[in-house]
């Protein structure tokens, strides 16, 4: 970066300037003496201004949300969709548990109406807002009551083959995450898993061994249903795991032949999770025709067909390499998610799928909710929220300190490498 030139004020004056120097020194001294008090006052004023700005922004946001809620009842379809989209953005970008809790019934009624009477995009947006409503409220009686009221409508829409695939896909995700957060018992979870399987089973191989052909919208629906099913698989009690392994480990591999890359990857990760759960009970677990399965997985991990998009091939190869390692070597994936000053470790397919479900619902607001939402912090074992700004927040290094640290680290690396080169030279 270019250096800024510092201009020097004034030069040497002719004649005696001691009097002027004395006056300057006196004024500077008095300035320094009064500085601590002025800094404290300025600090309090700045803090008050920040709090006032935050309070004003909060009020503006809350007023906007009220407008959006009211707007979901208007007659215009486009108007309702705009309000639902605005409400969705507000709920993803800010944790508003107390404010939303006071209006939970109103929001739930609006979502129910939009899912029942709406079409396509409106249903999809309403289901997405419903999911965010549960994430805002957290686990508890409020979420449980709302989900129990909406569950029959979600299942009815999901199974309605005349409804829009996009709306059905959002209802599938809402049903899955709703069960994950607010199901009363495992029977409710099992009923929802059965309803989800009724959707994605239509992508199983046909009786003649060929893969069915579906439109991209229907493939996206089947992928959403399988994704929600796998999320509920992640909370299956150990006593029920063996039954699910026996019933589904022979069915899911047929989805690996789908034309849709997302559905293939989702199927592979579901198989890997079944293996992970089964081996928690029996380290030596393996399915009977595992070699046949591995042939299919290796083919997808090394797929170089030019008719597939380069991005799809790259994503598929990366995912299936991890899946093969889990099945062959019992090696589970390990990812680190950085957000603010914290990190989240995802060790295994279970945590990875759970994180993926929240990321899909929250989008760009995922990090904000990981930092502030007590529900997510509890699910992922992050503890109490960390203060990232204001009093008590960890001090962030300034630019000069970072530059100094990087410079010292560079010098240290150079010394170590020089010694290593010397050793190589001596050996030669």
Would the pLDDT of 422 be above 70?
A: no
- pTM confidence score: 0.79
Cβ atoms of 237 and 186 within 8 Å: the answer is yes
Q: How confident is the model at residue 184 (pLDDT cuts 50, 70, 90)?
A: confident
262-292: per-residue pLDDT in tens? 999 999 999 999 999 999 999 999 888 899 9
54-76: per-residue pLDDT in tens? 677 888 999 999 999 999 999 99
Q: What kind and span of H or E run contains 348? A: none
Beta bridge partners of 338: 343
Would the pLDDT of 402 be above 70?
A: no
Would the pLDDT of 427 be above 60?
A: no
- pLDDT for residue 393: 52
Q: What is the CATH number of domain 56-202+214-235?
A: 1.25.10.10
Q: How far is the C-alpha of 130 from the C-alpha of 115, rounded, in Å?
A: 10
Would the pLDDT of 26 be above 80?
A: no
- pLDDT for residue 337: 94
Q: How confident is the model at residue 7 (pLDDT cuts 50, 70, 90)?
A: very low
Burial (CB count within 10 angstroms: exposed 0-12, middle 13-18, buried 19+), residue 191? middle
112-154: per-residue pLDDT in tens? 999 999 999 999 999 999 999 999 999 889 999 999 999 999 9
Task: Fill in the DSSP letter of residue 336.
Answer: E
Residue 388 vs residues 205, 371, 393, 396: alpha-carbon distances, Å:
51, 9, 5, 10
The DSSP-derived string for 369-396 is HHHH-HHHHHHTT--SPPP-SSTTPPPP
354-382: per-residue pLDDT in tens? 999 999 999 999 999 999 999 999 999 99
Q: How far is the C-alpha of 288 from the C-alpha of 159, rounded, in Å?
A: 33
Cβ atoms of 271 and 249 within 8 Å: the answer is yes
- pLDDT for residue 409: 65
- pLDDT for residue 333: 92
């Amino acid at each position: 970066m270019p250096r800024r030139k510092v201009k020097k004020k004034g030069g040497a004056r002719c004649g005696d300037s001691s009097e002027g120097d004395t006056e300057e020194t006196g004024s500077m001294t008095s300035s320094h003496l009064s500085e601590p008090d002025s800094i404290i006052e300025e600090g309090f004023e700045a803090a008050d201004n920040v709090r006032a700005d935050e309070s004003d922004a909060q009020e503006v946001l809350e007023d906007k949300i009220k407008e959006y809620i009211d707007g979901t009842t208007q007659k215009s379809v486009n108007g309702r969709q705009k309000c639902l989209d605005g409400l969705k953005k507000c709920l993803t970008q800010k944790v508003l548990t107390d404010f939303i809790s006071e209006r939970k019934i109103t929001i739930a009624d609006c979502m129910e109406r939009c899912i029942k009477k709406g079409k396509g995009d409106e249903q999809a947006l309403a289901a997405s807002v419903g999911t965010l409503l549960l994430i805002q409220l957290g686990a508890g009686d409020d979420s449980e009551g709302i989900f129990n009221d909406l569950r029959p409508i979600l299942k009815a829409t999901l199974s309605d083959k005349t409804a829009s695939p996009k709306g059905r896909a959002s209802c599938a995700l809402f049903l899955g995450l709703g069960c994950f957060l607010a199901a009363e018992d495992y029977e409710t979870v099992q009923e929802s898993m059965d309803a989800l399987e009724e959707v994605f089973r239509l992508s199983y191989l046909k009786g003649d061994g060929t893969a069915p052909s579906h439109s991209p919208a229907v493939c996206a629906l089947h992928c959403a249903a399988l994704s929600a099913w796998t999320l509920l698989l992640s909370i299956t009690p150990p006593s029920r795991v063996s039954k699910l392994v026996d019933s589904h480990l022979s069915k899911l591999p047929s989805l690996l032949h789908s034309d849709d890359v997302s559905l293939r990857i989702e199927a592979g990760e579901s198989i890997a999770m079944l293996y992970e759960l089964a081996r928690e009970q029996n380290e030596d677990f393996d399915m009977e025709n595992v070699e046949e399965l591995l042939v299919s997985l290796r083919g997808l991990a090394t797929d170089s067909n030019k008719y597939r998009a380069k991005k799809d091939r790259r994503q598929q190869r990366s995912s299936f390499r991890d899946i093969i390692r889990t099945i062959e070597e019992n090696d589970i994936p390990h990812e680190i998610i950085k957000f603010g000053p914290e990190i989240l470790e995802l060790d295994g397919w279970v945590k990875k799928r759970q994180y993926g479900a929240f990321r899909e619902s929250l989008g760009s607001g995922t990090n904000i909710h990981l930092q502030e939402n007590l529900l997510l912090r509890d699910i992922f074992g992050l503890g109490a929220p960390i203060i990232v700004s204001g009093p008590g927040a960890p001090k962030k290094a300034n630019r000069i300190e970072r530059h100094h640290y990087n410079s010292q680290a560079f010098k240290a690396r150079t010394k170590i490498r020089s010694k290593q080169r010397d050793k190589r030279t001596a050996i030669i």
